[in-house]
Amino acid sequence: MSFLKKIGTFYVNAHIHVSLAASCMVFITGIVFRIAVLEVSIFAGFSTLLSYNIIRFIKYKSFGLNQNLSDWFERNKWKVWILMFVSFFGVLYMLLFLKTIALLVLLPFVLIVMLYMAPVFPDGISKRTLRNLPFVKIFSIAITWSGVTVIFPLLNSGVTVDRVVWFFFLYQFLFVFVWTLPFDIRDITHDAQEMKTIPQILGVKRTKRSGMILLILISFLFFHFFENSVFFLLLSGILFLMVAILFSKAKQAPFYASFWVESIPIWQFLLFVCIDL
């Protein structure tokens, strides 16, 4: 494996890429509501990096990783531990810049993350987690990402939670909901049947069609609700996601979902920056 390929694989597998996407989502919230969100964006990046790698470690210990990913983790375990160590202290340091009220609102979303891999029903032989409960996986991801990237930064900046905030929260929830579908399509043959993911229920074709319809409805819903510059920023993300849904399939290229699909908030943010220059 070439040096650059090793770096790219570590960048994706160690969740640096998805953490950058989380930071960009917070920045997009800042753009929409014209508030400074640098500290919250850094906090969101570090906390995503920490939580995703903790989940990865738990799955590794419980033999929940596929063979290739398990082998990669075994070879790079010490590097991931260093990354977790840095992100942990990054989270602690950024807490100094955040308001108490915002941190209190963050607690329910932290609880969801903790329950995502921890046993919810520890009695008996089957120890089901929040992730394994029917219909719960995609909703828990959508509600957590929406809360952390919308409600949390707005409250930290003292923005009053009004109808516009809740509409944007709804947009983000639906966006993340559809954003998760390519991953569920990828994992359709690996996820346990009792999880009842959308592709398991509807099949791949109907899932893609439903995702497209939902994105179109989102576009119409918010067309008259935000000013033109903000609407086109949001629309760019929707169009990127439509393309991602269109080319999603059960047998994907290795990093189709974990790099290209997860890149959508990053491209969305960079597009706005380039237009604004």
Q: Residues 78-121: pLDDT tens digits?
A: 999 999 999 999 999 999 999 998 999 999 988 887 776 666 55
The amino acid present at 194, given as its one-letter code, is E
Distance of CA 185 to the CA centre of its chain: 16
Q: Are 234 and 242 contacting, i.e. CB atoms less than 8 angstroms apart?
A: no
pLDDT in tens, the chain (277 residues): 587 888 999 999 999 999 999 999 999 999 889 999 999 999 999 999 999 998 888 877 776 677 788 888 889 989 999 999 999 999 999 999 999 989 999 999 888 877 766 665 555 444 556 666 666 778 889 999 999 999 999 999 999 888 889 989 999 999 999 999 999 998 887 777 767 788 988 999 999 999 999 999 888 877 666 767 777 888 889 999 999 999 998 888 888 999 999 999 999 999 888 876 5
The amino acid present at 47, given as its one-letter code, is S
Helix (H, G, I), strand (E, B) or coil at 44: helix
Buried b (16+ CB within 10 A) or exposed e, 68-90: eeeebbeebeeebeebbeebbeb
Q: Are 269 and 28 contacting, i.e. CB atoms less than 8 angstroms apart?
A: yes
Residue 56 burial class via C-beta count within 10 angstroms: exposed 0-12, middle 13-18, buried 19 and up: buried
Q: Where are the domains of the chain?
A: 3-276
What is 3-276's CATH topology? Farnesyl Diphosphate Synthase (1.10.600)
Give the span between the Cα atoms of 189 and 93, in whole angstroms. 41
